A and B are shown apart, each in its own frame.
Chain A
Amino acid sequence: MLTVRLKQAAPIPLDVDLSCSAGDVLALVGPSGSGKSTILRTIAGLYRPVAGHVTVKGTSWLDTARKIDLPPHKRRVGFVFQNYALFPHMTALGNVVAALDHLPRDERTARGFQLLELVHLGDFEGRKPAELSGGQQQRVAVARALARDPDVLLLDEPFSAVDRVTRQKLYTELRELSRALPIPIMVVTHDFDEAARVANRMCLLDRGTILQTGTPRDVLARPASVQAARLVDLRNLFEARVIGHDGTRTFLDWNGRRIEALRADTRPAGADVAWAIPGSQVLLSSTDPNHADTTPNRFAGTIRDLIPLSENLSMTVVLDGADAPVLAMTLPAHSACRTGIGPGARVTIALMPDGIHVMDSDAGPDDGRETGR
């Protein structure tokens, strides 16, 4: 179990309280400057905050109140740097063995080999870092980080310097590793998809504070605030007024359109709220909007843009009405081929009530950004 509490106003503003259990992979996600790397560096002892504590398995690594601050080499931490920071004058094996000082001398080489085997680099032990590909260097960095038999494993943007194909492979390997390794693992990334792929918990940071912690699915689809929704790039973000509740549903008035969502009890009728829906929860409805249909939340509009991606289509639709709201949606590539739609085509879309997430309206006077209406 790893707990971190940090508080300082300058030079990097930080106000963070988080924990990570053994076996968990916690992704720290946020824009650059949100303080995510600083948190990792603080845990490793490479950065000293003004006030805070870091506790691992009940042992204090840092406690500014009690003047405890273990130097990095006394903290059992595995750290994978963004650019791997391999020792350029040592071979792959040398890099791993360099982190094995805690073992008796005659056991180090064998253990180094074992760790290289673990990251599928058994045949590359004699290569220098400059002779390895990006993905191979990353694996050496992971093997070196594991060599210390660490109490926590920290990875700082570990996938940013490798190509997409290699990245997919490394995601799988990290997930397998986390299953085999009963220690807290923390990954810093600015990529939400990446966080969802490797982590089972996610912590959304902005300007040194935590906006939301939860499963990646929750954080991405059910942001706690409008600010969080904007950070996770939830593009379908609108304002509405609560009409009332009925059974399992809540009804919203969206500029005259009636919307049915999952019940959000805490907001009374008449309250101004914000609501969001992931693009995957917006469906294409091929039938005529005037046709009798029990599907709720059906609206007519015109396709503005259609971008084919590798596995799906990204599409924006301008709905009819004076406010002309723009909805972003993703749909399987084959559905576009089937229906033969394109920019300018008239369509009817349906918003899945389960996918609609209602949150407090963002009425902050200091925030100049407008929520789409």
Chain B
Amino acid sequence: MDWTALWLSLRLGLVTLAILLPVGLLVGRWLACSRFPGKGFVEAAFALPLVLPPTVVGYYLLVSIGGATPIGQFWNATFGHNLVFSFEGLVLASVIVNLPFAIQPMQRAFEAIAPEIREAAAVSGLSPWQVLLRIDLPLAWPGVAMGLVLTFAHTLGEFGVVLMVGGSIPGETKTIAIAIYDRVQAFDTQGAGIMAATLLMMSLVVLGLTYRLSSNVGRRHGG
């Protein structure tokens, strides 16, 4: 069992969550509540990582944040190391590939709230922020939780982008998914099996809990 890799994966998952929670809430609610020309293309752009092969996303990340690019050079000058093949680079990649996993469930949950409910909140004297905190979030939280769980589980399992952008540096970019691949390559079937089973159990438990919680909420609101 490669504890370093597991810990790195968990850390990557948590940091990704911390970034995608506010991003998903704001973008998801914005897409759910507003209509504007070209909205379909904006939604498509956020959904792209769902359909693109991870290697394609990884390739574009490499050519846009690599050491020779302006972003890469700026990063190097500011922090003294390259963005690619570092934990920070991995976080950036993870945030980008997980955008649809976080945004879409949250957007659907916000869309399920009737617009009159928000209007009623506004005419009851609630400011837009209070409407978000006191009306939208309590009603949409199963969807928000689902977005977070999907993001976390997907981060643990992400392989292609991590390999392209992070490589396999122990303690820095070698996640559990990469470690499993390494073990298989080294014909260590038992080591790979233990890690794979761990990942499988974690994903199942987290997803199962989320489904159970959200079905309870559905019953409570009579919906």
Please state if B121 and A46 are interface contacts (CB–CB under 8 Å).
no
Which residue of the partner chain, among A86, A98, A147, contacts B134 with CB atoms under 8 Å?
A: A98
Contacts of A128 in B (CB 8 A): 221-222
| Residue in chain A with minimal CB distance to B124 | A99
Q: Taking chain B's interface residues, is the majority helix, strand, or loop, or is none over half, making it mixed?
A: helix
Please state if A102 and B117 are interface contacts (CB–CB under 8 Å).
no
A40 CB to nearest B CB, Å: 11
Known: A71-B122, A73-B122, A73-B127. A87 touches B117 (CB 8 A): yes
Known: A87-B135, A88-B223, A89-B138. A98 touches B116 (CB 8 A): no
A138 CB to nearest B CB, Å: 13
Question: Roughly how many angstroms separate A145 CA and B125 CA in the complex, as a whole number?
Answer: 10
- Interface digits, B103-133 against A, CB 8 Å rule (1 contact, 0 not)? 0000000000010110111111111101000
The answer, yes or no, to whether B139 is at the interface (CB within 8 Å) is yes
Known: A85-B117, A89-B221, A130-B222. A72 touches B134 (CB 8 A): no
Please state if A101 and B126 are interface contacts (CB–CB under 8 Å).
yes
Contacts of A81 in B (CB 8 A): 116, 119-120
Please state if A88 and B126 are interface contacts (CB–CB under 8 Å).
no
Contacts of B121 in A (CB 8 A): 87, 98
Question: Roughly how many angstroms separate A157 CA and B122 CA in the complex, as a whole number?
Answer: 19
Contacts of B127 in A (CB 8 A): 73
Please state if B134 and A75 are interface contacts (CB–CB under 8 Å).
no
A224 CB to nearest B CB, Å: 33
Please state if A72 and B116 are interface contacts (CB–CB under 8 Å).
no
B200 CB to nearest A CB, Å: 35
Contacts of B114 in A (CB 8 A): 83, 85
Q: Taking chain A's interface residues, is the majority helix, strand, or loop, or is none over half, making it mixed?
A: loop
Known: A98-B134, A99-B125, A101-B126. A85 touches B120 (CB 8 A): yes
Residues of B209-223 whose CB lies within 8 A of A: 221-223
| Residue in chain A with minimal CB distance to B122 | A72
A45 CB to nearest B CB, Å: 8
A-B pairs under 8 A by CB, number? 71
Contacts of B135 in A (CB 8 A): 87
Residues of A52-79 whose CB lies within 8 A of B: 71-73, 75, 77-79
The answer, yes or no, to whether A144 is at the interface (CB within 8 Å) is yes
Please state if B134 and A85 are interface contacts (CB–CB under 8 Å).
no
Question: Roughly how many angstroms separate A78 CA and B122 CA in the complex, as a whole number?
Answer: 11
Which residue of the partner chain, among B120, B125, B128, B130, contacts A86 with CB atoms under 8 Å?
A: B120
Residues of A93-128 whose CB lies within 8 A of B: 98-99, 101-102, 128
Question: Roughly how many angstroms separate A79 CA and B121 CA in the complex, as a whole number?
Answer: 10
Question: Roughly how many angstroms separate A72 CA and B120 CA in the complex, as a whole number?
Answer: 9
Which residue of the partner chain, among B123, B128, B130, contacts A75 with CB atoms under 8 Å?
A: B123
Which residue of the partner chain, among A71, A99, A130, contacts B221 with CB atoms under 8 Å?
A: A130
Contacts of A131 in B (CB 8 A): 222
- Interface digits, A303-335 against B, CB 8 Å rule (1 contact, 0 not)? 000000000000000000000000000000000
Please state if A98 and B126 are interface contacts (CB–CB under 8 Å).
yes
| Residue in chain B with minimal CB distance to A99 | B124
Please state if A46 and B119 are interface contacts (CB–CB under 8 Å).
yes
Please state if A73 and B125 are interface contacts (CB–CB under 8 Å).
yes
Which residue of the partner chain, among B117, B126, B134, B222, contacts A73 with CB atoms under 8 Å?
A: B126
Question: Roughly how many angstroms separate A243 CA and B218 CA in the complex, as a whole number?
Answer: 72
Contacts of B116 in A (CB 8 A): 81, 83, 85
Question: Roughly how many angstroms separate A360 CA and B125 CA in the complex, as a whole number?
Answer: 48
| Residue in chain A with minimal CB distance to B141 | A89
Contacts of A75 in B (CB 8 A): 123
Please state if A89 and B126 are interface contacts (CB–CB under 8 Å).
no
Contacts of B123 in A (CB 8 A): 44-46, 72-73, 75, 77-79, 145, 148
Contacts of A102 in B (CB 8 A): 125
- Interface digits, A264-297 against B, CB 8 Å rule (1 contact, 0 not)? 0000000000000000000000000000000000
Question: Roughly how many angstroms separate A84 CA and B74 CA in the complex, as a whole number?
Answer: 55
B34 CB to nearest A CB, Å: 15
Question: Roughly how many angstroms separate A89 CA and B120 CA in the complex, as a whole number?
Answer: 14
| Residue in chain B with minimal CB distance to A94 | B134
B213 CB to nearest A CB, Å: 15
| Residue in chain B with minimal CB distance to A76 | B125
Interface-centre pick from B123, B126, B128 (highest chain A CB count, 10 A): B123
Question: Roughly how many angstroms separate A81 CA and B102 CA in the complex, as a whole number?
Answer: 33
Contacts of A71 in B (CB 8 A): 122, 128
Known: A98-B134, A128-B222, A130-B222. A89 touches B139 (CB 8 A): yes
Known pairs A78-B123, A99-B125; list 15 more (Cβ under 8 Å): A44-B119, A72-B119, A72-B123, A73-B126, A77-B123, A79-B123, A87-B120, A98-B121, A98-B126, A130-B221, A130-B223, A131-B222, A148-B123, A148-B124, A148-B125
Q: Give the top 5 A-B pairs by smallest Cβ distance, nearest first.
A: A130-B222, A99-B124, A85-B116, A85-B120, A72-B122
User: Which residues of B are in contact with A by a Cβ distance under 8 Å?
Assistant: 114, 116-117, 119-128, 130, 134-135, 138-139, 221-223
29 pairs across A/B with beta carbons < 8 Å? A44-B123, A45-B122, A46-B123, A72-B119, A72-B122, A72-B123, A73-B127, A77-B123, A81-B119, A85-B114, A85-B120, A86-B120, A87-B117, A87-B120, A87-B121, A88-B139, A88-B223, A89-B138, A89-B139, A98-B124, A98-B126, A101-B125, A128-B222, A130-B223, A131-B222, A144-B120, A144-B124, A145-B123, A148-B124
